Amino acid sequence: AIIYLVTIDFILHSGLTRTKLADGSWSPMTAHNSFSSPFLLENAVLFKVLNHADHHLHTAKPYGILGFVEPRVPVSPQVVPGVPMIAITLVPFVPFLWNKLVASSAKRANMAHAEEVLALA
């Protein structure tokens, strides 16, 4: 169970970055800064830990009441859109496949985050 949760934690934090602003500070946390999974069953089994954007945006919120972020906030990215997290938990153990998978998803999410930050500036 511990290895599974550590693997999920690794997946949820892989490859996503925050944008460095012109003044040298980092952009605020947004839904784009963590992968999430919208699948209800796996969220129930994992105590809603896969509602990860809500956890990063509201760090004091207990896991039991985590939800999806408000509609006005862009949706957090998924490692493989439309695929439950449980289906990809073995992929990090195959480095070439993991790098290919995460590189494309993280690049899309990082570009969306940069666009969001620039729109707010």
Q: Are 36 and 83 in contact (CB under 8 A)?
A: no
Whether residue 55 has pLDDT greater than 90? no
Q: Which token pair is 39?
A: 């699948």
Average pLDDT score over the chain: 82
**Residue 6 CB neighbour total at 10 angstroms:** 10
pLDDT of residue 77: 83
Give the whole-angstrom CA distance, residue 104 versus residue 59.
Answer: 27
The pTM (predicted TM-score) of the whole model is: 0.73
Residue found under tokens 């999430």? 36
Q: Which token pair is 82?
A: 């439309």
**Residue 115 CB neighbour total at 10 angstroms:** 13
Give the whole-angstrom CA distance, residue 63 versus residue 34.
Answer: 15
Q: How confident is the model at residue 38 (pLDDT cuts 50, 70, 90)?
A: confident
User: What's the distance, Cα to Cα, between the start and end of the chain in Å?
Assistant: 43
